Amino acid sequence: MKYENVDIFTFNSKKPKKEPAPVNSGTEENAGSKEIPAELRKESLAESRKESLAEPRKESLAEPRKESLAEPRKESPDEINPENKNMSKTADSVEDVPDLVTSHQATSILTPDTEEILQASSSDNLCKDCRNDLSDHILKTESKIESDVPSSPAKSIFKSSSLPKTTPVSKPVSKNDSISISDLSLESEVLGSSGKEDFPFEGFAGCDDNVLKASPVSEAFGIVTTGIEPLELTPSGAVITGYITSARRDEIRLGTYVVVPYENGEKLFARVGKLQYRQEFVVDDATEIHSRRMLSARGNPVNEDDYKFLACLDPLCILYRKAEGKLTRRMADRIPHPNTPILPVTDRLEVQTGLNIPENGIFLGHLSVGGELLKTNSEPETVAYYLRNDYSMGDPLIFRHMLICGSTGTGKTFLSKNILRQFMNENNRYRLRGSPSKARKNPCLVIMDPQDEYSQFFEDNENLTEDDKFRFESENVTYGRVLSTKAFVAKVDGQRYPGDKSRAEQIEFTIPFSLVEHNSWLIAAAGMSELQYIGLEVLLGDFFKSSVPHTYQNFINHIENEGTRSYYVDSGKLHESSYDGIVRRVRSHFFSKVFDRDATSITDLVDKIFKPGQISVFPTEYISAPRIRDLIVLTIMSLIVDNKLSTTGKEAIKETPIILALDEAHRYLSNANGEHSRLIISRFADAARQGRKEGLGLFLITQDPQDIDDTVFKQINTKLILNLNNDAAITSLKVPKEYERRIPYLKKGQMIIHSPDNSDIVEIIGLSNCVVRHR
């Protein structure tokens, strides 16, 4: 088989031959020759492909190769198939391979080296090593395409490689000619060049350095940049700006937590404090024409590549590991390097450490950002927020007192039930500083219940599923009823407690007038003057020294006696007007309905009320008179405070950790407008200050936090803030400004926690299901 008889471009003997044109004709007409119709050429290429694949390569290619090596033969240009010169015309069939490259890419394939090779018809070396030259040209063309069009679909077809220098030829091809990629690929396959052929070139280290590889930080939001603002870290603040890539911009929120790694393994833990768009190119988009164009193109999304999306980071701390491997944090004292990746926080321990959240304690809810739960790669994926409940850093925070505040309908009672239930875990025990035994005891939970909802602690929530219970157990959430729940009902004339909301045990009691001896403010009206209050204490002191039974009715009979009045007025102990004013304010039919009724005295039930591990609920919803409700609540409060602060208090109260949950706290701890209120506030402020020592924790619930007196409010360490719309209420909470503006937009169950001794200020979402019955 003669090499010169082989049509090296098509191997198609059936294809019509054209008359060769003079190589040096120089005219465009001769250079182009007569063009074969596209349909015929397409069919011919397909047939030649089949024939070439059917022929053994050894017979068709090896023998001519030997002959050409043994005896080089020079051919005249006229002996070369004229179709070789017309190869450039096959670019007209580029549309036959639209899946490879676009027309623009196809045009860019034609390089000076390509032109030289295509005109090799006049070269003596073409016949000798035609296959090698053509294969090299194809590979070089593929490499050119890869470098010019890296994202093209044709990238998967071509392989980049190094090329030997080609021998220059006599005549270049016309610039109007181009090459069909499909034709080149076909010729390469026919000639035995697969495109993946191994070349005898030795590789060198670093040849793949510029190849894109899977990045370990492919999940990064972006990078730290200095192109907008210089990186800056000062004792008073920091300026750290990050560029956010277009693919991750929808995931960034104000308040999103991120980490920026350092080279030594430490990480900067930060929060997104500001988001900003800037133009990539200087364009005046505040024009009528631009706005109309954008409005008319509503279906076209904004091209994110035209804008810079920047996030300003507020450093919170630096995370690092101690020598023993424990993750801990310190103040942000290092600045990150430029171009460092900004990564999402995916480890639950990093979040808890970065925000100084305890790893265990009293469960309050799940960490969130902008109303969406923060999720990590841990299991479970949510981040639980716990209140410190051990003695590792002082006393448990419940004895530093808690406040839940929110408008009506925001879920205060629902949340309170879930939190209070956590304190009644069998394994939750506290010790008392002054206790001689130093033994730890379960707390007694005492609840002032104005809506008769907390006695439902005795009932299970029948709506809990097995999945809910599994999730609770995985995060150490206590759930289920408390069998030791009891309802203590005050007996009031004309009022009856229905008791239909719970099956808890009900114990009836009455308030003895003897409690007034050391708590004169129980019957003192709010409008009493200081002189009248002093006069009342004088009258009560003399009455309790008498031998008559110490009942409310006997006291009224005593002060209404004309002889008693004359004695105090004539002796100058009391002024006439003051005496008469005291009688008017103390004589009330409300008091006669609640004092000394036919029931067990509350002083005789102290051992049953204040029992470790018990929930004692005092419902007052059934009482129509607000003054009687206030009297009952103040009586219980005074009973606890007196015995806690007194060195000779009753042991059942003195030696038991007590959590006092006070709903509608603003009614009893309001600003002191008179002597009556001043005395109450002073008493409870003392109890609040000594709560850590005496084992007394206040759990206050209110919708008007601004009405709570400052002396008590200052003692509250943990504030759980639900939705509030009252500006005065929001201001009174004294939270950072960036959180103040979020409060009116909090959804139901969403809250902000401000507890300086427990963690940084954060946003959390409470449980969606109540751990006990809630109706």
- DSSP, residue by residue, 215-239: -TTTT--EEEESSSS--EEETTEEE
CB 748 within 8 A of CB 411: yes
* Chosen domain end from 594, 616, 643: 594
Buried b (16+ CB within 10 A) or exposed e, 250-269: eebeebbbbbbbbeeebbbb
Scan for tokens 């239930």, then name that residue.
Answer: 421
pLDDT above 90 covers a percentage of the chain that reads 51
Nearest to 195 by CA among 203, 181, 185: 185
Backbone angles phi, psi at 695, to 5 degrees: 75, 45
Residue 694 is predicted with a pLDDT of 87
CB–CB of 131/61 below 8 Å?
yes
pLDDT score at 681: 82
Question: Which tokens sit at 164?
Answer: 């030997």
With vertex at residue 489, the alpha carbon angle to CA 626 and CA 615, rounded to the nearest 5 degrees, is: 110
Please tell me the distance from the alpha carbon of residue 680 to that of residue 711, in angstroms, as a whole number.
Answer: 11
pLDDT tier at 291, thresholds 50, 70, 90: confident
Note the pLDDT tens digit of each residue in 447-456.
999 999 999 9
**Containing domain of residue 271, as a range?**
222-291+302-345
Q: Is 329 exposed, middle or buried (0-12, 13-18, 19+ CB in 10 A)?
A: middle
Mean pLDDT of 207-235: 72
For residue 205, is pLDDT > 70?
no
Instruction: Identify the bridge partners of residue 506 per DSSP, sorted by sequence position.
Output: 487
Q: Are residues 500 and 624 in the same domain?
A: yes
Domain assignment present for residue 142? The answer is: yes
Q: How many domains does the chain have?
A: 4
Domain presence at residue 767? no
The candidate with the shortest Cα–Cα distance to 684, out of 729, 647, 642, is 642
The answer to whether residue 758 is domain-embedded is no
Within 10 angstroms of residue 624's Cβ, the number of other Cβ atoms is 10
Q: Is residue 748 part of a domain?
A: no
Q: How is 466-532 classified by DSSP, letter by letter?
A: HHHHHHHHHTT---S--TTEEEEEE-BTTB-----S--SEEEEEEB-GGGGGS-GGGT--TT--HHH
CA quadruple 766, 768, 774, 775: dihedral, nearest 10: 120
| pLDDT tens column, 462-487 | 999 999 999 999 999 999 999 999 99
Does residue 477 share a domain with residue 444? yes
Q: 189 Cβ partners below 8 Å, 6+ apart?
A: 49, 52
Q: Is 98 a member of any domain?
A: yes
Helix (H) or strand (E) holding 263: none
Q: φ and ψ at 310, to 5 degrees? A: -115, 145
CA gap 591, 417 in Å, rounded: 32
What's the pLDDT tens digit per position in 593-621?
Answer: 999 999 999 999 999 999 999 999 999 99
Q: How confident is the model at residue 772 (pLDDT cuts 50, 70, 90)?
A: very high
pLDDT tens, residue by residue, 388-420: 999 988 899 999 999 999 999 999 999 999 999
Q: E-strand spans in 8-89?
A: none
Please give the residue that has the higher pLDDT: either 42 or 309.
309
Same domain, 41 and 136: yes
Please check the confidence at residue 293 and state whether its pLDDT lies above 60.
yes
744 close to 724: Cβ distance less than 8 angstroms: yes
The pair of structure tokens assigned to 373 is 């739960």
pLDDT attached to residue 432: 80
Quote the strand ranges of 360-470, DSSP E.
362-369, 372-373, 384-387, 402-405, 430-431, 440-441, 444-449
Residue 95 has pLDDT above 90, yes or no: no
pLDDT, position 454:
95
Q: Residue 4's pLDDT is what?
A: 45
The verdict on 439 and 502 lying in the same domain is yes
Q: How far apart are CA 166 and CA 142, in angstroms?
A: 16
Q: How much is the pLDDT for 316?
A: 95
Instruction: State the average pLDDT over residues 302-306.
Output: 86
Residue 164, pLDDT > 80, answer no
- 237-244 vs 307-321, strand pairing mode: antiparallel
Q: Binning pLDDT at 50, 70 and 90, where does residue 31 land?
A: very low
pLDDT at 209: 43
Distance (Å, whole) CA 767 – CA 363: 10
Helices 576-586 & 552-560 angle (0-180, nearest 10):
150
The Cα-based distances of 340 to 219, 249, 267, 268, 523 in angstroms read: 13, 18, 11, 11, 69
Instruction: Check pLDDT > 70 for residue 672.
Output: no
User: Is 378 contained in some domain?
Assistant: no
Residues 253 and 326 in one domain: yes
Q: What distance in Å separates the CA atoms of residue 618 and residue 213, rounded to the nearest whole number? A: 68
Residues found in the chain: 775
More confident residue, 218 or 383: 383
Of 721, 744, 760, the last residue of a domain is 721
Banded pLDDT at 114 (limits 50, 70, 90):
very low
Residue 739 inside a domain? The answer is no
Residue 753 has pLDDT above 90, yes or no: yes
What is the per-residue pLDDT for 646? 83
Structure tokens at 545: 């020294």
CB 32 within 8 A of CB 91: no
For residues 589 and 600, state if they share a domain: no
CA distance 763 to 316: 15
Tell me, what CATH number does 660's domain have? Answer: 3.40.50
Whether the predicted pLDDT of 627 surpasses 80: yes
